[in-house]
Amino acid sequence: MNIIIGLIVTFGCVLGGYMAMGGHLEVLNQPFELVIIGGAGIGGFIMANTMKVVKETGKALGEAFKHKVPKERHYLDTLGVLYSLMRDLRTKSRNEIEAHIDNPEESSIFQAAPTVLQNKELTSFICDYVRLIIIGNARSHEIEALMDEEIQTITYDKMKPYNALNTMGDAFPAIGIVAAVLGVIKAMGSINESPEILGGKIAAALVGTLLGVFLSYSIVSPITANIKSVRTKQNRLYIIVKQTLLAYMNGSVPQVALEYGRKTISSYERPSIDAVEQEMMNPGGGDAKAA
């Protein structure tokens, strides 16, 4: 919603200010300049990236427009799963724990946390490291190094759409110059025309520069920044898992280990201690709903 509101404000102020200065909107109506700039930008984007990244970019754009960031229910579900697993690690046999992590879709622990179960990557991340804890030979600093490496890899993959769109956006001003030069070439081909006609064609050519700069700094750059923000917040769930499990491995009881994870959440979004305690007593309950 923020992106849509921002676009309305941007176009409204730019076009409104232009008209208030006495400008004529019909001069800006140069669809073929937009075809040149947009086509060259999208073509370069496709050449520079694999189809997987292209598809992932579409998904990232959808997440940005919907502002698909973790809500309180996501955090509570993640903490609830971790608490249940840590509690069982202390009281149940290895075979009983393995039944949960080998087949999380049929696990009562994961079924009580649908937002975690829907996130296949996060579910796999949790199960993999609980499995390493069960083995018992790995030390906490070794697990921490492995988690850091995997989170870095996950972050790199998640940021590919951001980097790809950012590169395309950075190219738009230069592509706008290309469109403007093509427009000037067209205008020079009509050098014998009247000043009114020639002036109109030169003005049309300059629209190319305008569009290139405008698309780069007023459209693509803010949207890519939103994608980065959304995906950074999504990756926060992995940090919660990391800090909670490491605290448990270092000797903290499950209730205290949860605090290590909870404290990694931004203070603007962090569930209260009471909400977490309620979640421990009633997994999947509470008033917060998944987005």
225-232: average pLDDT:
96
- State percent of the chain over pLDDT 70: 97
pLDDT of amino acid 252: 93
Q: What is the pLDDT of residues 229-273, one digit of tens each?
A: 999 999 999 999 999 999 999 999 999 999 999 999 998 899 999
Q: What is the distance between the alpha carbons of residues 270 and 251, in angstroms, rounded to a whole number?
A: 24
Q: What is the pLDDT of residues 211-223, one digit of tens each?
A: 999 999 999 999 9
Residues near 61 by Cβ (< 8 Å), separated by ≥ 6? 161, 223, 227
Q: CA 287, 288, 290 angle in degrees (round to 5)? A: 135
Domain residues of the chain, as ranges?
Answer: 30-291
